[in-house]
Structure 1
Amino acid sequence: MRPWLRIFLIGFVLWAATLVVTEWTSNSNLVPTLVLLGSFLVPVTFVVWAYERGRSAEVTVELLFTAFVVGGVLGVLGASLLESWLLRPSLAVYLGVGLIEEGVKLIALMVVTRKMARRTMRDGLVLGATVGFGFSAFESAGYAFNALFTPTGLSLAQLVETEVLRGVLAPVGHGLWTAIAGGVLFGAGGRLTGRVLLAYLGVSLLHGLWDSMNAIAIALTLLLTGKSWQFDQLRIGRVPEVTETQVHLYTVLDLGGLLVVSVAGLLWLRAIARAAAKR
């Protein structure tokens, strides 16, 4: 059995067992274990998978661990500070989030790999993905922790739903975007060239589109099927009721948009991986 698959299966069994015991005993001391297992399982699995496919003498287990933990934490802390200082509610807020988070992850990647004597595109893909998945794991832990608290008390169901949703989406999120940026960065020898800047702007745009897809789907649904009375309610600051047709259209647009963004990122990653294989 492949190491990545073994890690995933063992981790999933431990997570499921922790969930059952927590629910059965109502022991809140087990909640941190549930949060950490659920948040780190998929990111760690994909890091191991990427390492197996792109094994290199330069990418040691120690460097991989440093990229995941140190790079991930630096990214989360940097993003939190910059977003609190620079972002304000606006139509472009999600683009700002993309620019900040992709920027801090790229800087974190440069920091943890600064002593590498030799850089290849393949190493950049692996280490970029590792930093991205580290960021994703720590961010998901925060979302899961916040989901636990509701106006009516602690909700284990919401915590689990958040972990499952973010786990399913993790492979086409932070890890993918930073892998792309890392591959281009290492392909340029670790220098900030024009191509690296374009890659950074490109993954930031994908990130911003991903985060804003909910709002985009709502806007498109209203644009295509909105009724005059709904717009009248919006003008006076009220949330209008929606029709069943609009609910279905919103769902299609939201999921379809996420699919388009994911496919675009995967095709870009595939092109970089093929270029790396030719070098």
Structure 2
Amino acid sequence: MTLWLRVFLVGLALWVATVVVTAWTHNSNLVPTVVLFGSFLVPVTFVVWAYGRGRSPRVTVEMMFTAFVVGGVLGVLGASVLEAWLIRPSIIMYVLVGLIEEGAKLAALIFVTRRMTTRGTMDGVILGATVGFGFAAFESAGYAFNALFTSEGLSLFQLVETEVLRGILTPVGHGLWTAIAGGVLFAARGRITVPVVLTYLGVSLLHALWDSMTAIAIAITLVLTGRPWQFELLRIGRVPRVTAWQVHIFTLLNWAGLSTISLVALVWLWTVVRSGKHRREIASQ
């Protein structure tokens, strides 16, 4: 059994056991354990997998630990400060969030790798993914913690539901986007070139589309299936009741949009990795 699979299965077993014991004993002291295991399990697993797939003498375990913890925390802190300062409800809100969070992660990657003298595309992909997964882990812990509190008291079910959903989506989110940006940045030897800037804008756009997909799916559903009385209620500022058919259409559009964004990002990462291998082959000739 490979290392990443052992990490995932052992971590999953411990998380499930913690959830069961917490639900059975109602011991709130175990809640932080549920939050941490659930939030870090998938990101850590993918970091271990990435390290095994792209092994490089320049990327050490210590460097990956620093990228995950220091880079992830710095990214979260930087994004939080900038979002509190710049973000206001508007039509461009999701675009600003994408620009800020992808910029914060890229800046954190530059900071934690500032002493690297030799860089390769795969080094940037691995370390970029590590920073991104660190960011995702700490962000997910915050979302899980907030989900715990409801108007009816603490909700372990809502916490677990949030962690499961974010765990499923994590592999095609922050880690993937920062892996792309990191690969292009390291291919440019750490310099801020035109391809690096364009890549940053591109992954920020993917991020913005991902975050706004619910709103986009709602808008498309209303355009395709909206009734006159629903538009009239919206016009006067009231939320209309939706039909079962509209719920199905919304769900289909939402998941189709997220799947398309994920596919575009995966293909983009594949081209970055392939380009890096090609340059390495040319350099070795």
TM-score of the superposition, structure 1-length normalised? 0.99
Aligned to 1:4: 4
Structure 1 residue 91: deviation in Å? 1.1
What amino acid maps onto 2:187 in structure 1? Answer: G
What is the Cα-based RMSD across aligned positions, in Å? 0.6
TM-score of the superposition, structure 2-length normalised? 0.97
- The superposition leaves residues 79-121 of structure 1 with CA deviations (integer Å, 9 ceiling, x where unpaired) of 0000010011011101110000000000000000000010000
Aligned to 2:173: 173
Distance 2:231 2:262 in 1: 32
| Divergent runs of 4+, >3 A | none
Distance 1:226 1:34 in 2: 41
Distance 1:276 1:3 in 2: 26
Structure 1 residue 225: deviation in Å? 1.2
What amino acid maps onto 2:53 in structure 1? Answer: R
Matched ranges for 1:104-119 at <5 A: 104-119=104-119
- Corresponding position: 1:29 with 2:29: yes
Aligned to 1:100: 100
- The superposition leaves residues 36-92 of structure 1 with CA deviations (integer Å, 9 ceiling, x where unpaired) of 000000000000100111111110111000000000000000000000100110111
Distance 1:186 1:205 in 2: 21
Aligned to 1:127: 127
- Corresponding position: 1:141 with 2:141: yes
Aligned to 1:211: 211
Q: How many residues align?
A: 279
Structure 1 residue 27: deviation in Å? 0.6
Structure 1 residue 132: deviation in Å? 0.1
Q: What's the secondary structure of 2:58's corresponding residue?
A: coil
Distance 2:143 2:7 in 1: 23
Distance 1:241 1:23 in 2: 35
What amino acid maps onto 2:205 in structure 1? Answer: L
Distance 2:5 2:275 in 1: 27
Aligned to 2:195: 195
Aligned to 1:247: 247
Distance 2:117 2:57 in 1: 11
Aligned to 1:260: 260
Distance 2:128 2:114 in 1: 13
Structure 1 residue 275: deviation in Å? 1.3
Q: What's the secondary structure of 2:89's corresponding residue?
A: coil
Distance 1:13 1:172 in 2: 23
Identity %: 71
What amino acid maps onto 2:19 in structure 1? Answer: L
Distance 1:182 1:165 in 2: 26
Extract unaligned runs of 5+ from structure 1.
none
What amino acid maps onto 1:36 in structure 2? Answer: L
Distance 2:26 2:250 in 1: 38
Aligned to 1:72: 72
What amino acid maps onto 1:179 in structure 2? Answer: A
Extract unaligned runs of 5+ from structure 2.
281-285
- Corresponding position: 1:236 with 2:236: yes
What amino acid maps onto 2:168 in structure 1? Answer: V
Q: What's the secondary structure of 2:41's corresponding residue?
A: helix
